[in-house]
Amino acid sequence: MSPHSHGGGAEAAAAEAQSKLHATASFDVDDFAVPGARDEEWRFTPLKRLGGLHDGSAKTDGGVTVEADVPDPVRAETVGRDDPRIGRAGTPTDRIAAQAWSGFEKATVVTVPREARPERPAFVSVRGNGGTSYGHIVIDVEPLAEVTVVLDHTGSAVYAANVEVNVGDGAQLTLVALQDWADDAIHVSHHYVRLGRDARIKSVVVTFGGDVVRLYPQVRYTERGGDCEMYGLYFADSPQHLEHRLFVDHSVPDCRSRVEYKGALQGTDAHTVWIGDVLIRPDATGTDTYELNRNLVLTDGARADSVPNLEILTGEIIGAGHASTTGRFDEEQLFYLQSRGIPEIDARRLVVRGFFAEVIQQIEVPEVRDRLFERVEEELQAVGT
């Protein structure tokens, strides 16, 4: 499929190329060099553990099963590459994303009709069956609709995908993306979010499973009044590499964004990476943005890299800021809990539970929320924290 067949994608590519924070976008794999360890975009990523996704050596020899469980009147369809709804939200910005674009055969499209307010969430399950595969998912929320969509990744796979999200004027979407893969899974995915006038998205990304996971959510505003809240939670064990890169592109006036990602690490060679890029373009007057990343290192040998980036090209904004912290337990908090008669190991677990609780509570789906609290407990039990 040619990128010129979708005007929105081509427009996005032209806009993205102007930013120092963002690489040139293209649907063509050949427009991207094979990543190397010295490249800024890839210097934290263990390229040798990507299963050949980055250099073209990966062969599609396996598959994933994608199943949708959606309430009325939401529609879920499996479509071919030529469907006109594909390619509107964004354009690949690295070689793996372009490879996933070129390599997928069928896409899953979830459509929420205008003014719809379904009584329960829509679930899209992506289950790995082994081998290597490429995927594509489109979520279209039409104007004035309100919905929660849960993307749930499980099983074993080497999987690269693009997820397009279009939120229409006045619509509200809560998007929960769960990465609960098997220990050997490799997952690289771009999420392209396109917000209309007065549209709102609350994104919650949760990553526990997988050997190497690299996620790249991107948000683009097309009209005034857009509102984006991005929450993230990740828990890395040895030797997991969990990498989250965000790009929030403020290009129009009077829009808001809030980013809050929290991570914990335990075990030798556990590694997490958080990159938070926020761009405020010259026309984005009245912007209000803030991003925060906090990491809790539970054991020796674990490493967390955190890099917030803020580029402001206009002085006429409401506010812009960022913060990043990485450290061990709060000793004063531990001392207080122990002074109340709580054993040290239980006090440490209480601190971690509290650290994650604020993010998990953002998920208004009880069965998902309960499952995540259980996963946190499993992680803590694994090393007796």
- Give tens-digit pLDDT for 366-383: 999 999 999 988 888 775
Query: Looking up tokens 């990043």, which residue turns up?
Result: 324
Residue 137, helix vs strand vs coil: strand
- Residue of 181, 167, 162, 269 lying closest to 225 (CA atoms): 167
Non-local CB neighbours of 83 within 8 Å, separated by 6+ positions: 107, 109
Q: Give percent of the chain with pLDDT exceeding 90.
A: 78
**What confidence tens digit (pLDDT) does each residue in 232-241 have?**
999 999 999 9
Phi, psi of 318 (to 5 degrees): -80, -45
Dihedral (CA of 254, 255, 256, 257) sign = negative
Runs of H (alpha helix) within the chain: 7-16, 95-103, 331-339, 344-360, 366-383
Q: Is the pLDDT of residue 119 over 90?
A: yes
Q: Is the pLDDT of residue 28 over 60?
A: yes
Helix axes 344-360, 366-383, angle to 10 degrees: 150
Region 150-158: mean pLDDT is: 97
**What confidence tens digit (pLDDT) does each residue in 187-201 have?**
999 999 999 999 999
CA geometry: angle 251, 40, 14, nearest 5 deg: 30
Burial zone of 221 (CB within 10 Å; 0-12 exposed, 13-18 middle, 19+ buried): buried
**What confidence tens digit (pLDDT) does each residue in 53-86 have?**
999 888 888 779 999 999 999 999 999 999 999 9
The residues spanned by each domain of the chain are 3-328, 330-385
Region 202-211: mean pLDDT is: 97
